[in-house]
Amino acid sequence: MAKMTISGLQSAMASYVAAAKQAGSWSASTGNFVGLLDKIGKQVTIDGGFYDKLPELDGDELPLGKTIEEWFIDLTLPTAYSDVTTDGADDIVPALPTVESVAYSYTLGRQKVKTTVPFDNFERAMINAQESANLGAKILERLNNSYELTKYAIKKQLIGNAIDKAVTAGSYANVALPVDTSTGEALIKQLKKDIEAAQFAHMGNCLAGSNCLIGGSPELVLYMKKGVMPELEVDTFAGAFNREDLAVPCKIKVVDDFGTITNSGAYAVLVDPRGIKTHNGYNALRSKENADGDFINFVRHFEVTGFISKYAYIKVYKPA
């Protein structure tokens, strides 16, 4: 018998565990004396997560009417009081407050996701009743997975649209993408300044522009592209003497992208979460059997209105 060595075992296993025998296409074999097809011993499907990671952007439903109308009343500057005679003469003169332009968010239109479950079809392919039931359930699960992932993509694109609008309105900061301790600390310093300022009534940092006075935000969310937080956590937080001093006082959500946007270099956006919402105008699951074809169709119908506020806090972070 040959003596086993590390290199000899590796060489033998490279030949035995042939790569062509894993994750390949079907190849029939009849390794038995009867000549029957060698049977499949196990059927498996390994699933990942297909879900909407931005549930906080769900707004209330719109069962009647699909358009959102946003209005904003300006604050009024006080004037000096003269005397009874002078000011009393204006007692019946109206002093209506000024208002900002009314903004509208429209429905994105109807969409649908459709799938078909055939009868007496996939049962032929499965090795037992349980696997057959699993496949039937998985087809319907995929219908819902498709809907959930579509909702997530809609929300990411809505954030991306808000980013482009904010940059156009001048509500952004040129801060280098954090890649080390120095750039990470620079971003956190800017964020802490902006978060502090956003808590008070201030001019600008909204889509209406720098001449609009908006109130303080009761809550802020920082949406950040994937890949940025690891740099902050490893290079900035880990090297800090007091991590609490660098902690960002707002909720942080990581997304894989901001959809397709003009300002592709933008890597983070700080928002008042009331200012970005998706509103379901219609959401229904319909089914219909086809007797002649012997199958049943399932169709998920939905309609969404994407809302972006002109008068809620928003600030984008991007390199110069």
Smallest CA-to-CA distance from 187 within 234, 236, 244 is with 236
Taking the chain, what is the end-to-end CA distance rounded to the nearest angstrom? 69
Give me the residue spans of the domains in the chain.
103-318
Average pLDDT on 105-117 reads: 96
Q: What are the start-end ranges of the H helices in 53-128?
A: 84-88
Q: Are the CB atoms for 187 and 317 separated by under 8 Å?
A: yes
Pull the structure tokens for residue 85: 């005679």
pLDDT band of residue 238 (cuts 50, 70, 90) is low
Q: How does pLDDT run across 263-276, given as a tens digit for each residue?
A: 989 999 999 999 99
pLDDT of residue 237: 64
The beta-carbon contacts of 287-292 under 8 Å, at least 24 apart in sequence, are: none
pLDDT of residue 246: 47
pLDDT of residue 173: 97
Q: Are the CB atoms for 38 and 30 separated by under 8 Å?
A: yes
Average pLDDT on 118-141 reads: 88
Q: What are the start-end ranges of the H helices in the chain?
A: 6-16, 84-88, 129-168, 181-198, 228-231, 243-246
Question: Please, which residues have CB within 8 angstroms of residue 214's CB and are 6 or more apart in sequence?
Answer: 201, 202, 203, 204, 205, 206, 208, 311, 312, 313
The residue ranking higher by pLDDT, 2 or 220, is 220
Matching residue, tokens 């482009």: 164
Beta bridge partners of 68: 105
Question: Please, which residues have CB within 8 angstroms of residue 239's CB and are 6 or more apart in sequence?
Answer: 181
CA atoms within 13 A on the CB side of 59: 23
C-alpha–C-alpha distance, residues 27 and 24, integer Å: 9
Q: What are the start-end ranges of the H helices in 36-180?
A: 84-88, 129-168
Q: Let me know if 182 is exposed, middle or buried by CB neighbors in 10 A (0-12, 13-18, 19+).
A: exposed
Phi and psi angles of residue 108, each rounded to the nearest 5 degrees, phi first: -85, -5
Q: How does pLDDT run across 169-203, given as a tens digit for each residue?
A: 999 999 999 988 889 889 999 999 999 999 999 99
Is the whole-model pTM more than 0.75?
yes
pLDDT of residue 282: 95
Beta bridge partners of 288: 297
